[in-house]
Structure 1
C-alpha cells in the first residue's frame, strides 16, 4: 500500500512546513492552529497504531485514514481544531493535575532507573577490568615466567 506515503506527506510534512512558516512569521493565529493539529495528530498516531492492528482488514480502511487526516488539516473543515476544542481540551483540562503528577513520578522513576543502571554498569566495568588485569598478569607469568603483579603489587 502506498497510503503510508500519503499519510507521511499530508499528515506530517505538509503540517510541519506550515508550522515552520507560522513560527517564522510569528503568526499567533496560525501557530495556535498548528499546535492544535499536532496535539490531535499525536492522539491520532496512538489510535492509528491500535487500529492498524485490529481494523486493517476493513475495506477502504487506508483510504478512510487519508481522508481523516486531510479533514484534520483542511482550513475549510478545521477538523483538528474541532476535535481539540470539543474533546481534547476539556479532557486534558479535567485531568491535567493527574497527568502532571504522573509525569513527575515517571521522571523520578526514570532518574532512579538511570542511576541504578549506571551503578550496575560501573560495577560490571570494574569487574571486567579486574578480571582482564588478572588474566593478563597470569598470562605474563605463564608465557614469560615473571611473577604475576596482581599477587606481588609490582
Structure 2
C-alpha cells in the first residue's frame, strides 16, 4: 500500500509535472532540440500510462512491482540515460511509421462514423421531442376548442331566450286593458288599420258603458 502511494507520487511529480514545466521552458525559448526531446518523452510516457492501466490490474501482486515502475520513470526522464529517446528511436518510431497509414484510415473512419451517429442521434432526438410536443399540444387545443364551443352555445342560447322574452313582453297586449302602450307600431297600411280598429273598439266600449250608466 505504501509503495503504491510512493509510486503514484513519484510518477505525478517527476513523470508529469516536471516534464510539463520543462516543455513550457522549451516553448518559451523556442529551442528546437528541447522540442524534439520532450515530444519524444511525452509519446513514450503516453504509451507507458496506457500499459500501466492494465499492468496495475493484473501484475500489481508481483514483488517490487511499484519499485520497478519508479525506476522505469526515472530512467525515461534522466538526461544521463535518455531512456525516452532510446525507446522512441528504436521501437516507437519504427512501429508507428509502418502502421501510420492504417492508423490514419482508422481515425478517419472513426471520425466519420461518430459524426454520422451524432447526427442520427440528434435528428432522432429532435423528432421525438417534436412528436411529444405535438401529442401534448393536441389535447390542450381540443379541450380549448370544446370549451369555446360550449361557451358560444351557452351565449347563443341566453341571447335567444332574452330576445324571445323581450319580444313577448314588447308585443303582448290585452284588448280589455285601457293602458296605452309606450311604443308606436310601424306606420304601414296594416299597422294603421290595426290602430284604427283598436280605437273604434275602444270608443264602442266607452259608448256602451256611458249608455249603461245613463239607464
TM over 0.5: yes
Higher relative contact order (CA 8 A, sep 6+): 1
1:88 equivalent in alignment to 2:92: yes
TM-score by length of 2: 0.62
Query: 2:121 is matched with which residue?
Result: 117
State the partner residue of 2:61: 57
Q: Structure 1: which 4+ aligned runs deviate by more than 4 Å?
A: none
- What is aligned with 1:150? none
CA distance in 1, matches of 2:19, 2:107: 27
Residue 99 of structure 2 aligns to a residue whose secondary structure is helix
Q: Give the drift of 1:99.
A: 0.9
Following the alignment from structure 1 to structure 2, what is the Cα–Cα distance between the partners of residues 41 and 89?
Answer: 14
Aligned length: 144
Corresponding residue for residue 146 of structure 1 = 147
Distance 2:62 2:31 in 1: 41
**Shift of residue 117 of structure 1?**
1.4
Query: Over aligned residue pairs, what C-alpha RMSD do you find?
Result: 2.1
| Counterpart in the other structure of 1:104 | 108
Give 1:134 deviation, angstroms. 4.2
Answer yes or no: is 1:47 the counterpart of 2:63.
no
Point out the more displaced range, 123-132 or 14-23. 123-132
Partners of 1:12 and 1:132 in 2: CA distance: 55
Whichever of the two has the greater Rg, that structure is 2
TM-score for both structures, normalised by structure 1: 0.84
Q: Which moved more, 1:88-97 or 1:116-125?
A: 116-125
- Work out whether 1:72 is the aligned partner of 2:76: yes
Partner of 1:88, secondary structure, is helix
Query: How much has 1:62 moved relative to structure 2?
Result: 1.2
Stretches of structure 1 that go unaligned for 5 or more consecutive residues are: 148-154
